[in-house]
């Protein structure tokens, strides 16, 4: 595994109000925030609170990229980073009143809606004439995020057109067993059985599962088995329609029952690791690397080299394979879905220079900013010979760049991801397979019935997802009768707020139909 490329964050922990934040101040003491008002020509002292990226290294003191941003924008930047997905820490920081100038958090969310209502976030419309990259992004299909015609931030929706979410497998095991990658659900099950029963690792022990996955992030829906539901005909990723054309929960569509019945067979035959619900993604991957399972779901693209490299550290002959999701009895298949969530970056009322704060967001989005954060300073961090980039790794390491041509800590985790930029360093050893994995995954998008997340989903989404996840696991492992379990799930789901969600989704679906 390339630890320098995908190391875990090793940031320092401090207290901020009642929250514990991971903070990375990538600049010297002169760049620390101050309450003093700057003079007309003095650099503006700007504080940025954001979520990080698990694949990034921490920011370092005296970071020359931060210094270069300071010089280009005439600011003094302090960056505070919480771990990836730790939006609760962002919320606690804002609630404490210790506001940054610029903040990145989850969207849509109850917190962002509240911040807008309370005037914590400032509208950016007056500054768009000075922020061309930001304006272009907002004008390109994000008009629906405006509130009464005002933009309160930049909502970054990842993976709208491209996906890297695939079925992955031990290609070396399939080769040893004389198997091609499974194209149908029947072949998928047969492949899982062969891995469980035929000892592909050759250790003489029955200690290998077929398929392994991991628990969802807190509040999210368990979707790791959805490719089986789609193969059985589930037409949408979020909701479904009954025979009368009325909106119903996805689990009340006939395909859900068929999918659960299929999955129960896999579970009863010990083809699925039964402890998946306690694993996070790193733990799942470790099981895969250690030969405890032959197939798993997960993202590829930039992760191809990381996953195969980690596998080969344990088994030098190991080889990663990936394939489209298996097709069902009628040839239907799907895996990738378009998110209704985003990362939202806005300017708070704390900012004494909102124009400068908006220009900072614009810089993160601009070609100039992307080049700086991905490549560094020309002549310092890299040189060019025509189109060829020569990465000066020793200098890049001093400023927190991930190894092997990967980017600065501020490059990802706020306004974009590598897949959305189609960014891979020229040093990427498996670049062709990385690009191909996106090509494969992106062919199997499953549409949403309703493209927009409603207020009821924001308010009750976590509660209904917890109900769904609990019942899904108990339906999968046989603790519940299928028909009775689905009926009870419907009752509990509606009681947890699903009835309100269905009403709003139905209204939104009718509006979409009117607009068509």
What pLDDT digit, counting tens, does each position of 276-326 carry?
Answer: 999 999 999 999 999 999 999 999 998 999 999 999 999 999 999 999 999
Compute the residue count for the chain.
516
Residue 54 shares a structural domain with residue 142: yes
Average pLDDT over residues 412-431: 91
Q: Per the domain annotation, does 360 fall within a domain?
A: yes
Residue 328 shares a structural domain with residue 348: no
- pLDDT of res. 17: 33
Can you give the residue range of the structural domain that contains 110?
Answer: 12-160+340-416
Q: Per the domain annotation, does 384 fall within a domain?
A: yes
In angstroms, how far is CA 216 from the centroid of its own chain?
11
Average pLDDT over residues 384-393: 96
Q: Per the domain annotation, does 1 fall within a domain?
A: no
Residue at which a domain ends, from 368, 395, 416: 416
Report the C-alpha gap between 4 and 243 in whole angstroms.
54
Q: Per the domain annotation, does 428 fall within a domain?
A: no
Residue at which a domain ends, from 398, 416, 434: 416
Average pLDDT over residues 189-205: 95
- Which of residues 469 and 342 earns the better pLDDT score? 469
Q: How many CB atoms lie within 10 A of CB 346?
A: 25
Residue 498 shares a structural domain with residue 374: no
pLDDT band at 218 (very low <50, low <70, confident <90, very high): confident
Average pLDDT over residues 216-241: 96
* Angle, CA 401 vertex, CA 396 and CA 402 arms, to 5°: 120
CA dihedral (289, 293, 299, 300) in degrees, to 10, reads 50
Residue 182 shares a structural domain with residue 313: yes
pLDDT band at 451 (very low <50, low <70, confident <90, very high): confident
Dihedral of alpha carbons 413, 419, 423, 426, sign:
positive
Residue 296 shares a structural domain with residue 381: no
* Angle, CA 481 vertex, CA 476 and CA 483 arms, to 5°: 105
Q: Is 456 helix (H, G, I), strand (E, B) or coil?
A: helix
Provide the domain count of the chain.
Answer: 2
Residue 117 shares a structural domain with residue 170: no
- pLDDT of res. 117: 95
Residue 407 shares a structural domain with residue 316: no
pLDDT band at 40 (very low <50, low <70, confident <90, very high): low
- pLDDT of res. 424: 94
Q: Is 266 helix (H, G, I), strand (E, B) or coil?
A: helix
Residue 307 shares a structural domain with residue 271: yes
Least confident span in 7-21, 187-201, 406-420: 7-21
212 beta partners: 296
Average pLDDT over residues 182-203: 96
Q: Per the domain annotation, does 422 fall within a domain?
A: no
Whether pLDDT at 1 is above 70: no
Dihedral of alpha carbons 153, 159, 164, 165, sign:
positive
* Angle, CA 403 vertex, CA 401 and CA 408 arms, to 5°: 20
Determine contact, residues 363/137, Cβ cutoff 8 Å. no
Dihedral of alpha carbons 224, 227, 232, 234, sign:
positive
In angstroms, how far is CA 377 from the centroid of its own chain?
28
Residue 319 shares a structural domain with residue 354: no
Whether pLDDT at 168 is above 90: yes
CATH code for the domain in which residue 142 is found = 3.40.190.10
Cβ-proximal residues to 274 (8 Å cutoff; 6+ apart), any chain: 267, 477
Structure tokens at 290: 């250690």
CA distances from 26 to 103, 153, 364, 438 (A): 16, 24, 16, 33
Residue 289 shares a structural domain with residue 181: yes
Q: Per the domain annotation, does 435 fall within a domain?
A: no
344 beta partners: 105, 155
Report the C-alpha gap between 67 and 75 in whole angstroms.
9
Of 444, 504, 505, 501, the closest CA to residue 468 belongs to 501
In angstroms, how far is CA 319 from the centroid of its own chain?
25
What does DSSP say about strands 75-82 and 209-212: parallel, antiparallel, or unpaired? Answer: unpaired
Whether pLDDT at 457 is above 70: yes
> Mean pLDDT over all residues of the chain?
90
Residue 349 shares a structural domain with residue 306: no
pLDDT in tens, 148-166: 999 999 999 887 789 999 9
82 beta partners: 51
Residue 138 shares a structural domain with residue 56: yes
């Amino acid at each position: 595994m390339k630890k320098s490329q995908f190391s875990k964050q090793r940031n320092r922990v401090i207290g901020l109000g009642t929250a514990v934040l991971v903070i990375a101040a990538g600049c010297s003491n002169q760049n620390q925030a101050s309450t003093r008002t700057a003079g007309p020509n003095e650099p503006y002292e700007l504080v940025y609170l954001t979520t990080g990226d698990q694949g990034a290294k921490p920011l370092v003191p005296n970071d020359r990229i931060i210094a270069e941003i300071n010089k280009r924008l005439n600011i003094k930047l302090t960056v505070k980073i919480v771990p990836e997905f730790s939006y609760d820490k962002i919320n606690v920081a804002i609630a404490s009143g210790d506001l940054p100038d610029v903040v990145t958090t989850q969207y849509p969310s109850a917190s962002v809606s509240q911040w807008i209502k309370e005037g914590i976030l400032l509208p950016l419309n007056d500054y768009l004439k000075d922020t061309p990259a930001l304006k272009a992004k907002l004008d390109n299909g994000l008009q629906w995020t405006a509130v009464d015609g005002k933009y309160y931030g930049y909502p970054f929706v990842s993976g709208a057109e491209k996906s890297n979410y695939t079925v992955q497998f031990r290609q070396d095991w399939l080769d040893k067993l004389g198997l091609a990658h499974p194209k149908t659900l029947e072949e998928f099950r047969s492949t899982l059985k062969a891995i469980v029963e035929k000892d592909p690792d050759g250790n003489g022990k029955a200690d290998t599962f077929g398929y392994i996955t991991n628990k969802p992030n807190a509040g999210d829906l368990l979707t790791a088995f959805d490719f089986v539901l789609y193969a059985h005909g589930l037409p949408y990723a979020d909701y479904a329609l009954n025979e009368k054309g009325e909106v119903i929960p996805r689990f009340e569509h006939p395909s859900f029952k068929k999918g659960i019945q299929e999955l129960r067979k896999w579970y009863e035959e010990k083809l699925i690791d039964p402890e998946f619900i306690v694993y996070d993604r790193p733990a799942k991957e470790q099981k895969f690397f250690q030969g405890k399972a032959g197939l798993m779901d997960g993202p590829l693209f930039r992760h191809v080299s990381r996953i195969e490299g980690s596998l080969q550290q344990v088994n030098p002959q190991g080889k990663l394979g990936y394939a489209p999701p298996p097709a069902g009895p009628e040839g239907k298949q799907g895996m990738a879905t378009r998110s209704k969530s985003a990362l939202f970056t806005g300017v708070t009322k704390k900012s004494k220079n909102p124009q400068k704060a908006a220009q900072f967001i614009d810089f993160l989005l601009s070609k100039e900013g992307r080049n700086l954060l991905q490549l560094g300073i020309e002549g310092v961090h890299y040189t060019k010979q025509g189109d060829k980039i020569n990465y000066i790794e020793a200098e890049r390491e001093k400023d927190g760049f991930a190894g092997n041509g990967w980017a600065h800590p501020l490059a990802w985790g706020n306004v974009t991801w590598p897949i959305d930029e189609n960014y891979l360093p020229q040093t990427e050893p498996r670049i062709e397979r990385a690009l191909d994995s996106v090509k494969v995954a992106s062919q199997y998008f499953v549409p949403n019935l309703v493209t927009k997340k409603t207020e009821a989903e924001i308010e009750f989404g976590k509660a209904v997802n917890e109900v769904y996840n609990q019942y899904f696991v108990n339906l999968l492992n046989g603790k519940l009768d299928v028909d009775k379990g689905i009926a009870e799930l419907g009752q509990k789901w509606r009681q947890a707020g699903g009835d309100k969600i269905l009403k709003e989704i139905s209204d939104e679906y009718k509006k979409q139909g009117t607009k068509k």
